[in-house]
Structure 1
Amino acid sequence: MKLRSPGLSMVAVVGLLALPACKKEEAPAPVAEAPSRAPSPTQQPLPPAAAAGAGEGAAVAPAPAGNGVVMGSVSFTGTAPVMADLAPSVDPACDGRPEKEQSVLVKDGKLKNVLVRVRGTVAGAPAAPSTPVVVDQSKCTYVPRVQGAMAGQQVVFKNSDGTLHNVRGVVGTKPVFNVAQPPSGAPVQKPLPADAEVLRLKCDVHPWMTAYVVSNANPYFATTGDDGTFTLTGLPAGTYTVEAWHETLGAKTAEVTVKDGAPADASFTFAATDAPAKP
């Protein structure tokens, strides 16, 4: 089967996926799946809402089950680690990408890209939405880098770049899929692996590209931005375990009691000495 992109063939794609720069990563799955214009079992048509908003990079939240709110911020104490320079790229499609590694981003003492979520099932919580979460590839960077999804939700991968990418999904050290995406190719949809709590994404063509989709049993999660803040809305009154998860610094938890009409605080603090997260 030929890729539907001028000048590309499956032989060329497989050759790119075996680049020496990726030797330190897990071996790619044996066959990279090339998207076609016709739907297949591994490339399903997007729901209308997903196709219209596929560049947003965020799930559409279901209707809330209550009116409780948990809000706070995630801080970083001590000296933040210095992020390494990324290897130079000669690919013009990568112009404008970050110049440094993005795993630990601290600004004014606040930590970005922390997934804050309520752990476990929540009675009366809405089911997983039919709208998928979206991961875009823009300027040779996954956008967003960290996001949550409900167990059973689909994930859509877009390629907004004028260059070849592939999306290799890894759970722990086990590759679970490997999808080739030609320049500006059609979006590809995949189910979130049922046994995956953290799905890590890699690109073998551009080995600095990394992203995470964190699966959760309920819809109460959010990712911190530059200011380190988060807000979880729609919770029924009750006591919950709230977790803050970071890709390299591990996880912090807190017990939080939520009351109707009274926002609860659940702030967290990380440091460079915190244990690394499991991949």
Structure 2
Amino acid sequence: MKLRMLGVAVLGAVGLSALPACDDEAAPTRQAAPAASKAAPKPTAAVEPAPQPLTGGGTVRGAISFKGVPPTPAAVAPSDDPACDGMASSEQSVRVKDGKLENVLVRVRGLVPGPRPTQPVVIDQHQCTYLPRVQGATVGQPLLVKNSDGTLHNARAVAGTKSLFNVAQPPHGKAVQRNLPADVELVRLKCDIHPWMAAWVVVNPNRFFATSGADGSFAIEHLPAGTYTLEAWHETLGIRTAEITLKEGETVSASFEFSAPAPASALGGVK
């Protein structure tokens, strides 16, 4: 009796131990989930490297003075457009303070080796005024015109008598970018809605130029050593020139003096 009971116990143990093996054989084979396919990398737009900062060379520093009594600026009729609040009440072409003349573009004439900037030259419309009024650009630089005013402007660019573009800009509208023709040397911007608005861009074959500030001062830095012709241009007073010779690491002084307005035939021109 004891032997029979032992046999039953042994068989039961054997049977139970065999069950997991039977289950494993009966279960369907599980296949590993396929690896997620790697998405092809998205093409990235080529990023134009930032222009290398200029180094070396020398510096030209100077001041623009005005001799005599400056002309009395004409009054500008006040605008009933609230967006124009804060605008100047007089014509701004000749700005003289303590005998120093503002907004004179001083540039190095001719070709000068070195990289040219590619970022746009920016002009903003603020309080119904173009800012800055006078600035330089290199050949190939685009022009970007912004409207920071809460009113409608139209930006009309002309070179001499030739119209370059004329675009309407709604209040706080999107900036407008335009390329300038390669043969253009002087661009004037104006707004037909607000006729007192004016700005000038002098286009130069090199990047060595500067505009005189309210104190008449200007500085052109990192100009390679050499002998150059400097030209000082003013929108109504004409042109002055000077010759300089610059050595590596040297700072030279160059000053210009303006007086009475030039004859009408010379106004608005760049030689």
TM bucket by the smaller chain? 0.7 to 0.9
1:131 aligned onto 2:125:
no
Q: 1:62 to 1:85 in 2, by over 3 A?
A: farther
Whole-angstrom distance in 1 between the partners of 2:188 and 2:201 = 7
Q: Residue by residue, what CA displacement relative to the aligned partner does 1:156-195 show, whole Å, maximum 9, x if unpaired?
A: 0000000000000000011111010000000010012222
Given that residues 69 and 262 in structure 1 are in contact (C-alpha distance below 8 angstroms), is that contact kept between their aligned partners in structure 2? yes
CA RMSD of aligned residues (A): 1.8
Larger radius of gyration: 2
Which residue of 2 is the match for residue 25 of structure 1?
A: none
Q: Residue by residue, what CA displacement relative to the aligned partner does 1:105-140 show, whole Å, maximum 9, x if unpaired?
A: 000000000000001101x2212x221110000000
Whole-angstrom distance in 1 between the partners of 2:176 and 2:106 = 27
Tell me, which stretches of 5 or more residues in structure 2 are unaligned? 1-46
Given that residues 154 and 193 in structure 2 are in contact (C-alpha distance below 8 angstroms), is that contact kept between their aligned partners in structure 1? yes
Which residue of 2 is the match for residue 52 of structure 1?
A: none
Q: 1:61 to 1:72 in 2, by over 3 A?
A: farther
Whole-angstrom distance in 2 between the partners of 1:102 and 1:221 = 22
Which residue of 2 is the match for residue 90 of structure 1?
A: 80
Whole-angstrom distance in 2 between the partners of 1:265 and 1:223 = 15
- 1:70 counterpart SS class: strand
Which residue of 2 is the match for residue 41 of structure 1?
A: none
Q: 1:194 to 1:269 in 2, by over 3 A?
A: same
Which residue of 1 is the match for residue 150 of structure 2?
A: 162
Q: Percent identity?
A: 60
Given that residues 62 and 219 in structure 1 are in contact (C-alpha distance below 8 angstroms), is that contact kept between their aligned partners in structure 2? no
Given that residues 63 and 126 in structure 1 are in contact (C-alpha distance below 8 angstroms), is that contact kept between their aligned partners in structure 2? no
Which residue of 1 is the match for residue 44 of structure 2?
A: none
**How many residues were matched structurally?**
220
Given that residues 154 and 192 in structure 1 are in contact (C-alpha distance below 8 angstroms), is that contact kept between their aligned partners in structure 2? yes
Whole-angstrom distance in 2 between the partners of 1:206 and 1:93 = 11
Which residue of 2 is the match for residue 255 of structure 1?
A: 243
- 1:158 counterpart SS class: strand
Which residue of 2 is the match for residue 106 of structure 1?
A: 96
Which residue of 2 is the match for residue 278 of structure 1?
A: 268
Whole-angstrom distance in 2 between the partners of 1:78 and 1:274 = 14
Query: What's the TM-score once normalised by structure 2's chain length?
Result: 0.78
1:79 aligned onto 2:69:
yes
Q: 1:143 to 1:181 in 2, by over 3 A?
A: same
Q: Which of 155, 159, 179 matches 1:191?
A: 179
Which residue of 2 is the match for residue 38 of structure 1?
A: none
Tell me, which stretches of 5 or more residues in structure 1 are unaligned? 1-47, 50-59
- 2:147 counterpart SS class: coil
After TM superposition, the runs of 4+ consecutive aligned structure 1 residues lying more than 3 A away are 273-276
Query: What's the TM-score once normalised by structure 1's chain length?
Result: 0.76
